[in-house]
Amino acid sequence: IDSEDDLLQECISSAMPKKK
């Protein structure tokens, strides 16, 4: 099970803009 911090980081990263 992922830790809360990992889940939060994953959530933030998923919304960050990616290189085009």
Partner 1 sequence: PDSPLARWTKSLHSLLGDQDGAYLFRTFLEREKCVDTLDFWFACNGFRQMDLKDTKTLRVAKAIYKRYIENNSIVSKQLKPATKTYIRDSIKKQQIDSIMFDQAQTEIQSVMEENAYQMFLTSDIYLEYV
Q: Which residues bind partner 1 (CB under 8 A)?
A: 2, 4-5, 7-8, 10-20
User: Residue 9 CB, nearest distance to partner 1 (Å)?
Assistant: 9
For residue 2, what are the contacts with CB-CB under 8 A and spacing of at least 6? 10
User: Residue 3 CB, nearest distance to partner 1 (Å)?
Assistant: 9
**DSSP assignment of the chain:** ---HHHHHHHHHHHHSPPP-
